[in-house]
Structure 1
Amino acid sequence: MKEKEKSTLKTLALCKSHQIWQMHIFPLLISSLLVSLFLLFLSYSSCSSCSSSSSSSSSSLTLSLSAAAHSDPCSGKYLYIYDLPDKFNAGILRDCLAMFPWVDMCPYVANMGLGPHINETGSVLTETGWHITNQWVLEVIFHNRIRQYECLTDNSSQADVFFVPYYVGLDTGRKLWRQNISLQERDSLLVEVMQLLKSRPEWLAKGGRDHFILSGRATWDLRREDDGGNQWGGKLLTLPEVKNMTVLLIESCPWENDNEFAIPYPTNFHPSNESQVVTWQAKVRSTNRPWLFSFAGARRPGQAGSIRDQLFDQCLKSTRCKLLDCVSAGSNCDIPVTTMSLFQSSSFCLQPPGDTPTRRSAFDSMLAGCIPVFFTPHSAYTQYKWYLPNNYSEYSVYIPDNEVREGRVSIEEVLLKYSEEEIGNMKEKVISMIPTLIYKDPNYKLDSVRDAFDVAVDGVLRRVKSIIGN
């Protein structure tokens, strides 16, 4: 066979072979490839579905947990009360005869700290909710109120804040006038309770930053620097450990420590239901006020810088001022009916500093719907920031004490510049603040009214959250 023919036959054979591959083998390969791709697609779809299902399940779980947290009204508000030996609280009350050398405190620490009921209210007070309450017993009232807090927990690992029920103000106060007691003995219970706290895992977890304590005395009674000489007060506020805590007091030192917060002095009104609050507000709103201004107190002739002599003199010279001299015979300033009658009959009530910048009388007067007149910012404006409006002119009048001391201002002339409308608006603001300036009766649960205790606990929770987070 010629070479050309052989070549032609070879080419034909190759072409035939290729044709056979195209006709039979190639379709099989394509089919196999398509099946493989289809199976791969199914596998991918299945995995995507699994992933989507897993993601969906995870999201659902997250949403469920979030919903569960939001459905718990106590989330972020759980409070744990230390169960201290009673020598730190109830035992101190049993020593009530020794609390003050000139006052029998036993009747005042009774009845959960509210003191005796007032039965003779006359036309001055409403019929229920009134007690003779001492200004130094807030620790007792607060401790009994906190036992009714709606978000208490016995599980310390669940707690957001921790309360230390040590009556440090009453404990320190009962030792201040004892001549035969050393400064170390004065602070013995304080040192002991701090050692107890520092040994607890609850304290060690955050170094006490989620703990708080309360004192019914002013800051100046609890900041002794050292144990030398015959110094005044205890040293609660100078202890390094306490600087981590939140400390509630009836008067703070805001320019010294940022962990001190002032809460209202206790008044004599402790309602047990909402209607008592509403009835009292209606009463002071409608009462007749014949006096432009008034002052209840005593002169302080030996107190450097005091303006009380000037207040006495200005009030006595004015026909628009009513004076209650608390050192004169028969003044009865310790009887709530007497002081509340004065405050209810006045549009403005003078509130100068006493032994310290703040006064319980300021809260008594506001309870009566009387507009307070302050003479130093430290009587209210730098103190009760959780309670009083930032714009102090909404509810009070400020007259600088140096202008009074130097005789450069007439209090009557300042107050006469306020119109009836302005006085009415300020009085209404004061009356609207009454619920959060009083402490409810701890014997009753009163969810419909938020009182000074509720505001204090909310403030502590906010502060702890800002320091350590959720």
Structure 2
Amino acid sequence: MEKLNVGKCHIRFFWFFISLCFALSFLFLYFSSVTLFDGKSRYDYPVLSPYSNLMAISENDAKPITRSPATDHVMRNQSDSIDRVTVTNEALPMEEKGDEPVEDKPVKETSSIDKSKRSEPADERLPITENTTGPDSDICSGRYVYLYDLPSRFNDEIIKDCRSINLWYDMCRALENGGLGPQLVDTEKVFSHKSWYVTDQFTLEVIFHERIKHYKCLTNDSSLASAFYVPFYAGLDVSRYLWGFNTSMRDSAALALMKWLTKRDEWKLMWGRDHFLVAGRITWDFRRLTEEDQDWGSKLMILPEAKNMSVLVIESSPWHRNDFAIPYPTYFHPSRDNEISQWQNRMRRLKRRFLFCFAGAPRPNLKGSIRGDIIDQCIASRRRCRLLSCDSGGNKCQKPSHVMKLFQSSVFCLQPSGDSYTRKSAFDSMLAGCIPVFFHPGSAYVQYLWHLPKNYSRYSVFISENDVKAGKVNIEERLLRIPRDKVKSMREKVIQMIPRLIYADPRSGLQTIEDAFDLAVQGVIGRVNKIRRGIRDGPDSEMDYREDESWKYRLFGNVERNEWSPFFTNWKDSDS
């Protein structure tokens, strides 16, 4: 009996073992299939940033895939007026027709990118490149910038074709000295040293390119780069075709550039979200929504690929996420730190004869312009206001010495909107230590957030253009009511801000002082790091806002109705 019982136990154990093996095999096959499926769905597509309107691009063919319809707006900047219209437009893939072939430069077989990284999880291949300091740390850690070597048609050939850039005057001289222009001759003792140039307001992209060539944290190892700079001279390019050319000519270079970029391994790391370019014109010159030849500008900034990039312009759109305003270039490009401090001290010592001044011309054909009202008030103020008329014969406004002499002699400088919200004059006046008076928040406060203090009352005066139109404010009386101590404090703040508003000479550079270029690069890297965090850790709930509310979030950190909301209802305000 004992032998029978032992035999039965062996038989039961045998069948139990067989059943267990079968169950384990089934579970192994099941989880293997799930893992394979999950792996495919996870890595077949590029990681999206937290911004809902950005475009994903398929890794197989590098063509754009529309994630969701986006509402775009455009302002057409005509020579004498601005028409603001709201248009709903779906983001479309880049057009194939009309693209001109671009010959790629020879590429080495060994790439600076480890291609195996493309299949790694987002949180492993997209580290936050924060700047760290320590005895053994790399001083450029988190600050490296990769400079693309573009085909010459996107920059050098545009410079060679300089005579076609502007219909009214020769831009070739303006492009001398790396975009700084000819050196100024100081016959009226208005300037200092030899660091002053006749700088054109539209050469910023050339100046920036020259500066970044000498950037101390430049790298040709893309795996180290925190940001990727694309030296496309977008403003100079489109300037050649703004008058008398069809839309195909205006868009040709932009379309060809995006086609070239999307083939690069560097682009595919984050699908352009870590890329930036500088376009030295206002944003409205690059936001054409239709294919009608009579419509203004190119469509560079509404291309799906460009929406992923950061585009630096001299005037940004308050209603879009992908462009950021940086200062207009002034006439001052110091090569040493002490030149800045000497200029600041000189501005502190000046005796300013006039309470306020205005340099400009009326805009009779521009609906809603207050320039005529400002000119009338300046004339009525007689000895307290100095007017430099820009529509008279000889146009003294084109001569830097006349403009800077006016600003140096005034306590306040009036800066109303012109053909667009912003003016180069605002930066020239602050360079002269003159306190700017703005009449619309779009002229500065929602624009240059990397360079100007958010607390605008520390360095400027705001007078509503609506009050000027309605005749509710007398500018002279308003300025006279500001206490003398407050005026002194504001002027000192403006003078302290000067380094942040100028671009140093690219051929030398500053040692201890950060200029407008440095702050712009920091701003770009900070934005890229924020996008990386969103990819790694998940979108920030605070970033969940409509694109046309961008100006609110950037300035106030929320999208609630605020003191500036009434000024933006002409376009589209979320609270209207």
Would you call these one fold, judging by a TM-score over 0.5? Answer: yes
Equivalent residue for 1:315?
378
Structure-1 separation of matches of 2:139 and 2:242: 44
In structure 1, what is the equivalent of residue 105 of structure 2? Answer: none
Q: Name the residue aligned to 2:465.
A: 401
Q: Structure 1's 69 and 238: CA in aligned 2 closer, same or farther, altered over 3 A?
A: farther
Between 1:66-75 and 1:400-409, the stretch displaced more is 66-75
In the alignment, structure 1 segments of 5+ residues that lack a partner are 1-65
Aligned counterpart, 2:138? 72
CA change 1:357–1:267 in 2 (3 A) is same
- The 1-side partners of 2:189 and 2:221 are apart by 49
Report if aligned partners of 2:133, 2:139 keep a CA contact under 8 Å in 1.
Answer: no
Local SS of the residue matching 1:107: coil
* Counterpart position of 2:294: 230
1:286 aligned onto 2:349: yes
Picking from 99, 103, 108, the partner of 2:169 is 103
1:202-229 CA-to-partner distances (Å, cap 9, x unmatched) read 1111110110011100011100113134
Q: Kindly report which structure 2 residues correspond to 1:215-364, keeping only aligned pairs within 5 A, or say none.
A: 215-255=279-319, 257-319=320-382, 320-364=384-428
Aligned residue for 1:204?
268
Task: Give the Å deviation of 1:77.
Answer: 1.2
Q: Which runs of 5+ in 2 are unaligned?
A: 1-131, 537-576
Matching of residue 136 in structure 1 with residue 202 in structure 2: yes
Which residue matches 1:9?
none
Match of 2:184 among 112, 118, 134: 118
CA distance in 1, matches of 2:380, 2:372: 12
- Cα offset for 1:86? 1.3
What is the CA deviation profile of residues 169-197 of structure 1, one whole-angstrom value per residue up to 9, with x for unaligned ones? 110111101x2x32112111111110010
Matching residue's letter, 2:176: A
Percent identity for Structure 1 against Structure 2: 53
Distance in 2 separating the partners of 1:328 and 1:450: 39
Q: Deviations over 1:244-270 (max 9, x none)?
A: 111110000022x11211000000000
Instruction: Trace 1:20-169 onto structure 2 (pairs within 5 A).
Output: 71-169=137-235
1:456 is matched with: 520
Q: Distance in 1 between matches of 2:248 and 2:337?
A: 46
User: 1:438-462, CA deviations, whole angstroms, 9 ceiling, x for partnerless residues?
Assistant: 0000110322221000000000010
Find the aligned partners of 1:147 and 1:402 in 2 and give their Cα distance: 45
Shift, 1:70, TM fit: 5.7
Asked if the contact 1:121/1:127 (under 8 Å) is kept, the reply is no
Partner of 1:213: 277
Separation in 2 of the partners of 1:259 and 1:229? Answer: 25
What is the letter of the counterpart of residue 271 of structure 1? P
Structure 1 residue 331 displacement after superposition: 4.1
Shift of residue 328 of structure 1?
Answer: 1.1
SS in 1 for 2:259: helix
State the AA in 2 paired with 1:236: L
Matched, 1:192 2:256: yes
Distance in structure 2 (CA, Å) of the matches to 1:423 and 1:68: 42
Whole-angstrom distance in 2 between the partners of 1:330 and 1:144: 33
Please say if residues 307 and 322 of structure 2, whose CA atoms lie closer than 8 Å, have aligned partners that are also in contact.
yes
Change (3 A) 1:305 1:67: closer
Residues 378-429 of structure 1, C-alpha deviation per residue, up to 9 Å, x if partnerless?
0000000111111100000000001111111100010000121111100000
Q: Counterpart of 2:128?
A: none
> Are 1:253 and 1:260, in contact at CA under 8 Å, matched by a contact in 2?
yes
Q: Distance in 2 between matches of 1:446 and 1:357?
A: 31
| Structure with more helix by fraction | 1
Across the two proteins, how many residue pairs are aligned to each other? 402
Partners of 1:311 and 1:149 in 2: how far apart? 43
> What secondary structure does 1:333 align onto?
helix
The amino acid of 2:499's aligned partner reads P
Q: Which segment drifts farther, 406-415 or 118-127? A: 118-127
- The separation in 1 between residues aligned to 2:256 and 2:139, in whole angstroms, is 36
The CA distance in 2 between the partners of 1:88 and 1:376, in whole Å, is 35
Q: So what's the TM-score if we normalise by structure 1?
A: 0.84
**Deviations 1:24-56 (CA, angstroms, capped at 9, x unpaired):** xxxxxxxxxxxxxxxxxxxxxxxxxxxxxxxxx
| Distance change >3 Å, CA 331–CA 225, structure 1 → 2 | closer
Do the aligned partners of 1:99 and 1:173 also contact (CA within 8 Å) in 2? yes
The structure number with the bigger radius of gyration is: 1
Give the secondary structure class of the aligned counterpart of 2:223.
Answer: helix
Residues 363 and 369 in structure 2, CA contact (< 8 A), matched pair in contact too = yes
**Are the equivalent residues in 2 in contact too, given 1:254–1:261 (CA < 8 A)?**
no
Q: State whether structure 2 residue 238 is matched by structure 1 residue 172.
A: yes
RMSD: 1.4
Structure 2 length-normalised TM: 0.68
Q: Give the Cα–Cα distance (whole angstroms) in 2 for the partners of residues 430 and 344 of structure 1.
A: 13
Q: How do 1:406-445 residues align onto structure 2 when only pairs under 5 Å count?
A: 406-445=470-509
CA distance in 1: counterparts of 2:260 and 2:286, whole angstroms? 20
CA shift, 1:67, in A, is 8.9
1:168 partner letter: A
450, 466, 470: which one pairs with 2:530?
A: 466
Tell whether 2:440 aligns with 1:380: no
Contact 1:324–1:331 (CA under 8 A) maintained in structure 2: no
**Cα contact 2:227–2:525 (8 A) shared by 1:** yes
